[in-house]
Structure 1
Amino acid sequence: MTRGPTLPAHHPPQLPRPLDAFNAACATEARALLLRCLHSPRWSHRIAAHRPYPDLDALLAAADEAAYDLSPADISEALSHECLPRLPEDTYSAAHMALDAAHAAYEARFGHVFVIYLGDTAPSETADRVLEAIRSRSANDPDEERAIAADELRRLARGRLGTYLRGAGSCATSPNAPTSGR
């Protein structure tokens, strides 16, 4: 039995991915996006300058490396643009009051907002996790806490950047979205 010619395999059109758009964006746009993920001009310039990235893992590795290289002044600047994590809408007012009191004590001790990465925390556990962590970390020595806060900033930036570039929304929708100022 003779068969006719085989048609070439059908390949769906290659649609641009968020990473492709990031790689192709002008430097100003790329840095603006990066600043929404971590407010550090040095960090954003470094990551934007090394585009294009072959894949998201390479970009996230570069973001981590750049975050590890932040100076104390860079970390201070990034911390000054952070805010407390948002609690779920149905959180009891007592939890809000406890968190406000714990944060006030933390900020008085360390001079900056409390930061924590909550990417793997269920919304129903957010208040408990934040309150436990803020109370636990308040006992840290200032240098130790500064190092922990820097690592949490790195994790926040990585999470926000990954969320944005996976096409799941913008960095501003993160539960720990940075503010434009305090």
Structure 2
Amino acid sequence: MPSSPARLEPFNSAPADSAVQALLTCCHSLRWAHRLADHRPYPDLDALLAAADEAVYDLTPADLAEALAGESLTPLPDGAYSAAHTALSAAHAAYESRFGHVFVVCLDDFSPDEALDHVLAGIRSRLTHDPEEERLITSEELRRLARGRLTRLLGEPGPRPARNSPNVPD
């Protein structure tokens, strides 16, 4: 998915503070955002995404906690307040109780119709993990979220998140 350097020009030439603020909308880790901003200019989107991936992989547990603290749950779509909402709320509460942070999952590859089932299955499955295993999976999901958000931030074509995603970070 190579992109034209012109698409990245506004990002590459923005003041550092502006670039960091924009990057924080993609991943809520100051270390991650500063690292990407400090290594500009990027020749294309692929180079930026590779740097973003590497920066996520290098997050310390404290950096990961900071990034996760910035994630929030989106509201359920209209009409979704049903037994599924109760199940989802209970699953989120169990996950947060076990791991101490919000459940994150990237839904870019799922339709809105599949999102709820994927989230519920994901939470149930991941509740069986030990904390270290879950930290690795959470980091990978955060990486995927950041990639999708960066791609959308720069107006590049790419995967789109499931709309009206049920109580998952966008």
Change (3 A) 1:61 1:83: same
Question: Considering only CA atoms, is the larger Rg found in Structure 1 or Structure 2?
Answer: 1
Change (3 A) 1:74 1:44: same
Change (3 A) 1:134 1:110: same
Which residue is 2:92 aligned to? 103
Amino acid aligned to 1:113: V
Superposed CA offset, 1:84-124 (max 9, x none): 35544343522111100001011111111100011111011
Amino acid aligned to 1:54: P
- Give the paired residue count: 159
Q: What is the TM-score normalised by the length of structure 2?
A: 0.86
Q: CA RMSD in A?
A: 2.2
Contact 1:119–1:159 (Cα < 8 Å) also in 2: yes
Paired with 2:88 and 2:74, the residues of 1 have a C-alpha distance of 10
Which residue is 1:149 aligned to? 138
Superposed CA offset, 1:135-156 (max 9, x none): 1101111110111111111111
Amino acid aligned to 2:108: G
Give structure 1 stretches of 5+ with no counterpart: 1-13, 169-173, 178-182
Paired with 1:95 and 1:20, the residues of 2 have a C-alpha distance of 44
Paired with 1:116 and 1:43, the residues of 2 have a C-alpha distance of 19
Contact 1:88–1:123 (Cα < 8 Å) also in 2: no
The correspondence for 1:63, drawn from 52, 68, 73, is: 52
Amino acid aligned to 1:100: S
Q: What is the TM-score normalised by the length of structure 1?
A: 0.81
The correspondence for 1:35, drawn from 20, 24, 32, is: 24
The correspondence for 1:121, drawn from 106, 110, 125, is: 110
Which residue is 1:73 aligned to? 62
Change (3 A) 1:56 1:118: same
Contact 1:88–1:124 (Cα < 8 Å) also in 2: no
Q: Does 1:25 align with 2:42?
A: no
Which residue is 1:180 aligned to? none
